[in-house]
Amino acid sequence: MITGASSGIGAAFARHAAKLGFDVGLCARRKDRLEALAAELTTKFGAKADVFCRDLARPGAGLALADDLAKQQRQVDVLVNNAGFSIACGFAASNCADQRSFLELTIHTPVELAHALLPHMLAQNWGRIINISSITALSSGGKGHTLYPAAKAFLLKFSQSLNAEVSARGVLVSAVLPGFVATEFQQANGMDSTISAPPKFATQSPEQVVTEAWRRNDKGVEIIVPGLAAKTMALMMGILPESWVRKLTRQIAEDAYVGD
């Protein structure tokens, strides 16, 4: 089951899973994209692909999706919590409704899905849960980037805590902390006018992220930082004093921030 499957990292996860012989559940808001991807996976890999078109930023959406899966008697062995968005303005300029939707999608939905789908994984002593966090989870944010790193830090700690609870029973949980990835994320979230583009040398493709994430999750790696650029950033954050890291990340955020 892959959320945010209509493009980017989510679509790459779907293709990777189908190539490995898994049937896949695809969830996102853009039905046309999901149906096109489902047809591609069936034609190219012979995979059964079920489409679930829904807005996971609504309260209770994770539980509703789990109910749909149960009604269709679909058992989930691998869960990829990838759906996400960002708010393309500063915290004070954003509205509470957008903030609530962001937190529902980034925090509540992954928790609801993991809780609902975990019993089957534990019963068969095998399962995989991959939560897409961000390299920003390792530090505080900055101007125009306030809620995002805080929510991604929750996903990181949730993944670690859950893995400590269930890994001995064959269910491996990982948090993936990508750096810059070449996806539609900035355009889809209206961030082109507020955040400058990352340097190309530091940018990974979705396929590179997925290949490393899948391989290392299967080996039981709890925190996965894909790519040399992101690994370098993570190393620096671990070595430098926290006050230096916070100052540096604030400066990077301010340099990238164009305005509301």
Find how far residue 133's CA is from the centre of its chain: 5
CA-based nearest residue to 20, from 12, 32, 28: 12
Give φ, ψ of 257 to 5 degrees: -80, 120
Tokens of 41: 């996976």
CA-based nearest residue to 110, from 162, 188, 42: 162
3-state secondary structure 6-58: CCHHHHHHHHHHHHCCCCEEEEECCHHHHHHHHHHHHHHHCCCEEEEECCCCC
Residue 249 host element (H or E) = helix 242-256
Task: Write the burial class of residue 237 (CB in 10 Å: 0-12 exposed, 13-18 middle, 19+ buried).
Answer: middle
Give φ, ψ of 27 to 5 degrees: -130, 130
Residue of 13, 102, 148, 154 marked catalytic: 148
What does each C-alpha distance from 153 to 175, 176, 187, 226 come to in angstroms?
10, 11, 23, 17
- Rounded Cα gap, residues 189 and 105, in angstroms: 14
Q: Confirm whether 148 is a catalytic residue.
A: yes
| Helices (runs of H) and strands (runs of E) counted in the chain | 10, 9
Positions annotated as catalytic residues are: 148
